[in-house]
Amino acid sequence: MFILTPETIWNPHVLEMRQVPRRVFGRVMIFPRRMAGVGGAGIGLWLRLIFEVEVLRYLVALVPFLLGAVLFPRYALAIAQAPLPMLIVIYFVEAKLLRLSRARAKALASAAEVERGMDLLRLRAVAVLSKLAAGRGLAEGRLHLVVEQSEIWRMPPLTLVSVQAEAGPEVLALSEAERALVAGLFDADFTERDLLRINLASGDCLRDVAFDVRGVSAHARLAALIG
């Protein structure tokens, strides 16, 4: 999971938005910062983000054609002028190796499992937003916890999580303590892979949980004040 805030990426201008939720995959490229504490990016995240770039995946899929042209130069021109086999290879890699068909995706989870997973996500997201709003002393407005996942199944899940405010609208800047709070969204009982499974089964990899900060309890506000 990568917590998306202006502090955790080198190009925060890509987070500018006109409406909630702000989508990322397929629209902008983010460049994570390597930083201490919660929210920093390691080499694994960088490689996973690079793999998400479709053009680069297409080039990797076409490596056998490049090798064939190098090893058999007399056939190089014929190989270069054979776009149909190249398209077939790209389609096979994208649609068969990396992704699931719609039927196989739906079989990952039943409707009841999807509903239970969404209920758990909403419960945890509301808890996170409530504590965050209490800690900031917010009295009005609506916050959104937005969880966006890559649709690629046969790779480690890539999950982007952000807190977005309707006022602005904007992707909120989060302190390290707030990022640690958001990081508790997943654990051993509810993992990113669990969410991806139900997301693919339901055909929706963007989840947006809204919370009206007027719903923060007096107990939560007192706890934040004491803390």
pLDDT confidence of residue 40: 63
| Pick from 2, 8, 22: nearest CA to 171 | 22
CA 97 from centroid of its chain's CA atoms: 20
pLDDT confidence of residue 114: 96
pLDDT confidence of residue 223: 73
CA 121 from centroid of its chain's CA atoms: 14
Q: Three-state DSSP class for 145? A: strand
Q: Three-state DSSP class for 28? A: coil
pLDDT confidence of residue 36: 55
pLDDT tens-digit map of 156-212: 999 999 999 999 899 999 999 999 999 999 999 999 999 999 999 999 999 999 999
Q: Which residues of the chain have pLDDT under 50?
A: none
| Pick from 130, 142, 147, 163: nearest CA to 208 | 147
Pairing of strands 159-165, 2-3: parallel
By CB atoms closer than 10 A (0-12, 13-18, 19+), residue 6 is: middle
3-state secondary structure 48-99: HHHHCCHHHHHHHHCHHHHHHHHHCHHHHHHHHCCHHHHHHHHHHHHHHHHC
CA distance 17 to 34: 24
CA distance 206 to 84: 33
pLDDT confidence of residue 148: 97
Asked whether 200 and 152 are in contact (CB, 8 A), the reply is: no
Name the DSSP letter for residue 8. S
pTM above 0.85, yes or no: yes
